[in-house]
Amino acid sequence: MARKFTEIAFTPAVKAAQTRYGSRAGAEKLERGEVSGDRLGETEAAFIEARDGFYQATVTQDRWPYVQFRGGRADFLKVLDERTIAYADFRGNVQYLSAGNLAENDRVALILMDYANRARLKVWARARIVHREDEPELLARLEDPTYRAKVERAVVMTIEALDWNCPQHITPRYTQSEIEQLVAPLQNRIAELEGAAIGSA
């Protein structure tokens, strides 16, 4: 069984580079992987829905790559089924670069990062833009009424391939929420010690 991401990513030019730099034998093993990697398992689904942002690449009409960060609350990128993910597309700088690119070429690539745990998931997919008037139930399912952002459309992606990427060079970084969770025991202990000091004074 071929690994789906290698079918997409290992072009003849990439294979030539692998040969030149000495990694072709290892790449061939990846190509013959036992898992095809085009379906979300429980681990991938949980990872995706825990993210509060991701990097999305589209392609312009002139074939230039364009990468944009998409952010929101954790769980704004939703798993609809084992091959479909989607998000409510919030109003931004109104340049509509990604929307325009997707109207011409439906290919997207995502990188989802968990910096604190040094984990990275890559996703290749086909995307379609969905407007509220076309599928109001879907838009209602994707939007978060407690998040202050104007939803203009939805982006629905059919997964073509997945790949967990090497964590070797990921520098750990932490969100405000993660830092608060990490320091909460220390703050509680400080409060206890301050309380004890006041009581013994």
pTM recorded for the entire structure: 0.88
Single-letter residue type at 58 = T
Residue 170 CB neighbour total at 10 angstroms: 16
Classify residue 157 by its DSSP letter: E
Per-domain residue ranges of the chain: 1-36, 38-172
Q: Are 82 and 40 in contact (CB under 8 A)?
A: yes
17 phi, psi to nearest 5 deg = -65, -40
Question: Which of 181, 28, 55 minimizes the C-alpha distance to 123?
Answer: 55
pLDDT in tens, the chain (201 residues): 468 999 999 999 999 999 999 999 999 998 887 778 899 999 999 999 999 999 999 999 999 999 999 998 899 999 999 999 999 998 888 899 999 999 999 999 999 999 999 999 999 999 999 999 999 999 999 998 888 888 899 999 999 999 998 888 999 999 888 899 999 999 999 988 888 877 776
Buried b (16+ CB within 10 A) or exposed e, 92-103: eeeeeebeebbe
Give the CATH architecture of domain 38-172: Roll (2.30)
Burial class (CB in 10 A: 0-12, 13-18, 19+), 49: middle
Residue 91 has a pLDDT of: 87
